[in-house]
Amino acid sequence: MTECAFNDDNRVVLSITGADARDLLQDLVTNNLDRLEEGKLLYSALLTPQGKYLFDFFITLDGDALLMEVVKGRAPALAQRLMMYRLRREMAIEATDLTVSLHWGEGEAPVGAMADPRSNALGWRLYGAPIEATANRASYDALRIAVMAPETGVELIADDSYILEMGFERLNGVDFKKGCYVGQEVTARMKHKTELRKGLAVVEVSGDASPGDTIDAGGKAAGALHTIAGGKALAYLRLDRAVGEMTAGDAKVRRV
């Protein structure tokens, strides 16, 4: 069994049913649902028509239904957005009572758990009954920082973030060959025609600093701190300015 696990009460699993559900989602989300299999997760996002992030989620098959795992506080807005796109197609969405537990460390995956598709280091996600926790969110945050995995509402900001700046290509959250989806044109242009000037990065933090603190480089704003754990943090940086020793709050900051 894995060494570290806890119940993520911030997450909820939605059940999506209906004859048109899969085709509808394929037209909307950033990843390719043709790759869906039972027992495997797909990581994806829904964007605005202008290419900005709105929601990120995990999807898997459950018989004739689709299961979609999302941050609990964003689930009603996600369901409302999907139903807005439904028009006359057949699709229904309802919340399940499944608990999301996160598992990582050495050893085998728990029975029924599915590998996190973003990175092998992030372990497995299990939908079912609550488990006995052996770790906590802080230890998982340290793991997220190490693999640069952004979190909804922390690094990923609705109507503001761009998924390529947040590492979705590296995290297997976007498919550039699937064809059209909402926000696809802007995302493809960022991929093929521009060099990213801003993005998510890991920084070392020495001293007192808090999430949200502005990072200063030579008297110019170079970005902001987000998740902090174990002397390291995820930061959203202006990449051309984020060089050498920087400061945030009362801390010294250096890009890893």
Q: Using one digit for the tens of pLDDT, what is the confidence trace for 130-188?
A: 999 999 999 999 999 999 999 999 999 999 999 999 999 999 999 999 999 999 999 99
3-class state of residue 14 by DSSP: strand
Q: Are 36 and 51 in contact (CB under 8 A)?
A: no
Positive or negative, the CA dihedral 113, 116, 121, 122 is negative
Structure tokens at 145: 């920082």
pLDDT of residue 251 exceeding 90, the answer is yes
Mean pLDDT over residues 86-111, rounded?
95
3-class state of residue 218 by DSSP: coil
Mean pLDDT over residues 54-63, rounded?
98
Q: Are 205 and 225 in contact (CB under 8 A)?
A: yes
| CA pair distance 10, 41, nearest whole angstrom | 18
pLDDT of residue 200 exceeding 80, the answer is yes
Mean pLDDT over residues 113-124, rounded?
97
Residue type, 179: G
| pTM recorded for the entire structure | 0.96
What spatial distance separates the first Cα and last Cα of the chain, rounded to whole Å?
Answer: 32
The tens digit of pLDDT for each residue in 201-250 reads 999 999 999 999 999 999 999 999 999 999 999 999 999 999 999 999 99
pLDDT of residue 1 exceeding 90, the answer is no
Backbone angles phi, psi at 147, to 5 degrees: -105, 5
- pLDDT number for residue 250: 94
- What does the domain layout of the chain look like in residue ranges? 4-147, 197-255
- Tokens 């002397």 belong to 231
From 42, 23, 51, select the one nearest 191 (Cα to Cα).
51
Backbone angles phi, psi at 31, to 5 degrees: -105, 170
Mean pLDDT computed over every residue of the chain? 96
Positive or negative, the CA dihedral 193, 53, 198, 174 is negative
From 177, 197, 202, 209, select the one nearest 241 (Cα to Cα).
197
CATH of domain 197-255: 2.40.30
- pLDDT number for residue 73: 98
3-class state of residue 24 by DSSP: helix
Taking residue 218's Cβ as centre, other Cβ atoms within 10 Å add up to: 11
Please report which confidence band the pLDDT of residue 194 belongs to, taking 50, 70 and 90 as the band edges: confident
From 208, 219, 203, select the one nearest 251 (Cα to Cα).
208
- Tokens 């006995």 belong to 132
**Topology at the third CATH level for domain 4-147:** Gyrase A; domain 2 (3.30.1360)
Strand-pair category, 251-255 with 11-17: unpaired
Helices (H), 108-249: 137-147, 184-192
- Tokens 């990065």 belong to 201
